């Protein structure tokens, strides 16, 4: 392979690589543009972290008996016949990493529930609700810790007798129990940013009635760590959008240029191959010159193909002069005889 052919091949490979890179660049630009227009990611900024605790404890006060040495039993089962009353203590506490304003509303209620079995399916037969703690509001300003507690007694015998009376009247086998609920709704405001958030909880005790043994169940005690975030949705990223669009336009321009140059090189390659084929095939009758021929005063006869020019050479026995008029684009093959010039021109074809 001659040097000119190698050069054409090298340039063709370079242009092909640039074309591939440009196509990849266009795809990246489109992806960046789409990403910038459909960017719905959340941005989370932590404003405060806080911990809340809600505990309920009970103490069963006993009447005189021969079995229990203590007058009070804490958080444990006991023989129901010796229960005099049940003391409850509910405590709520919230601690925050920053100053907060708090408006806490708490209340308590007791519900006497009577269940019975209907075709082996447990259903509620009767309920009655009693106020335990009226709705109470506690307001704190610019504090990092908010806490309160409430202690009260439940007359166990009163509710037990009420459940027994209902069972006698209904003449049904019922499973009565007391549901004691403490409710807290705390509206909070972060002092420095004025962001509002809420902490709502219900803690419940289930106290069985008309049972030989009373075992109280706690439901909903809590100890939680949480955080408040400022969440914003990222909209159109205009910098990213501009980058993507510019990348697309630049890449398309490179693609157009690369394709044009690739086709141009392809045509040059065909021209070089055709020229070298002629020079090799007719090497014994072709002489190369680097001086541009002067056709002044001569009649120039344009020959349409190389075979006809070779036939003329065979008749006249005059060597063919080869001159590259435009490097890599146009070659002249000439026979100069008297006042006539026979010329065949090999050109690079125009790109379509």
Q: What is the pLDDT of residues 250-266, one digit of tens each?
A: 777 766 666 665 555 55
Q: Which residues pair with 123 in a beta bridge?
A: 116
pLDDT at residue number 40: 61
Q: Which residues pair with 346 in a beta bridge?
A: 331
Decide if 91 contacts 149 (C-beta within 8 A). Answer: yes
Looking at 171-215, list the stretches that DSSP marks H as alpha helix, in order from N- to C-terminal side.
none
How far is residue 292's CA from residue 93's CA, in Å, rounded to a whole number? 103
Helix (H) or strand (E) holding 216: none
pLDDT at residue number 1: 47
Query: What mean pLDDT value characterizes the chain?
Result: 86
pLDDT at residue number 201: 95
What pLDDT, in 10s, does the model give residues 31-77? Answer: 777 777 766 666 788 999 999 999 999 999 999 998 998 899 998 89
Helix (H) or strand (E) holding 230: strand 222-233
- Please report where in the chains the tokens 């063709």 appear, as a residue: 12
How far is residue 265's CA from residue 178's CA, in Å, rounded to a whole number? 94
pLDDT at residue number 300: 92
What pLDDT, in 10s, does the model give residues 79-113? Answer: 999 999 999 999 999 999 999 999 999 999 999 99
pLDDT at residue number 225: 94
pLDDT higher than threshold 80 for residue 137: yes
| Higher pLDDT, residue 268 or 313 | 313
Looking at 109-217, list the stretches that DSSP marks H as alpha helix, in order from N- to C-terminal side.
156-170
State the helix-helix crossing angle for 3-37 and 238-281, rounded to 10 degrees: 160
pLDDT at residue number 351: 41
How far is residue 224's CA from residue 245's CA, in Å, rounded to a whole number? 48
HSE-CB for 166 with a 13 A CA cutoff: 20
Sheet containing 340-347: order of strands: 286-288, 320-326, 330-337, 340-347, 299-303
Nearest CA to 72 among 92, 58, 55? Answer: 58
How far is residue 22's CA from residue 252's CA, in Å, rounded to a whole number? 7
**Mean pLDDT lowest among 139-143, 186-190, 256-260, 271-275:** 256-260
Burial (CB < 10 A; 0-12, 13-18, 19+), residue 271, is buried
pLDDT higher than threshold 50 for residue 179: yes
pLDDT at residue number 248: 80
Percent of the chain having pLDDT more than 70?
87
């Amino acid at each position: 392979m001659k040097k000119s052919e190698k050069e054409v091949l090298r340039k063709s490979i370079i242009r092909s690589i640039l074309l591939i890179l440009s196509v990849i660049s266009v795809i990246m630009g489109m992806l960046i543009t789409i990403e910038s227009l459909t960017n719905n990611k959340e941005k989370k900024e932590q404003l405060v972290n806080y911990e809340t605790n809600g505990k309920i404890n009970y103490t069963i006060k006993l009447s005189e008996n021969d079995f229990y040495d203590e007058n009070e039993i804490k958080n444990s089962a006991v023989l129901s016949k010796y229960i005099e009353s049940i003391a409850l203590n509910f405590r709520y506490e919230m601690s925050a990493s920053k100053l907060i304003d708090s408006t806490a509303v708490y209340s308590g209620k007791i519900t006497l529930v009577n269940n019975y079995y209907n075709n082996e399916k447990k259903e509620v037969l009767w309920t009655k609700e009693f106020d335990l703690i009226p709705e109470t509001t506690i307001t704190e300003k610019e504090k990092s810790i908010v806490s309160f507690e409430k202690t009260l007694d439940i007359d166990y015998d009163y509710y037990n007798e009420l459940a027994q009376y209902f069972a006698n009247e209904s003449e049904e086998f019922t499973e009565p129990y007391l549901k004691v609920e403490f409710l807290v709704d705390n509206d909070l405001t972060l002092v420095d940013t004025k962001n509002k958030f809420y902490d709502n909880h219900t803690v419940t005790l289930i106290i069985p009635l008309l049972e030989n043994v009373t075992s109280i169940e706690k439901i909903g005690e809590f100890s939680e760590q949480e955080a408040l975030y400022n969440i914003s949705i990222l909209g159109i990223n205009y910098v990213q959008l501009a980058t993507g669009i510019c990348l697309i336009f630049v890449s398309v321009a490179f693609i157009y240029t690369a394709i044009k140059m690739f086709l141009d090189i392809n045509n040059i390659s065909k021209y070089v191959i055709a020229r070298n084929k002629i020079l090799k095939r007719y090497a014994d009758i072709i002489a190369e010159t680097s001086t541009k021929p002067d056709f002044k005063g001569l009649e120039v006869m344009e020959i349409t193909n190389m075979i006809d020019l070779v036939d003329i050479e065979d008749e006249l026995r005059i060597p063919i002069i080869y001159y590259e008029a435009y490097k890599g684009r146009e070659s002249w093959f000439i026979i100069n005889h008297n006042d006539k010039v026979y010329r065949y021109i090999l050109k690079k074809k125009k790109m379509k």
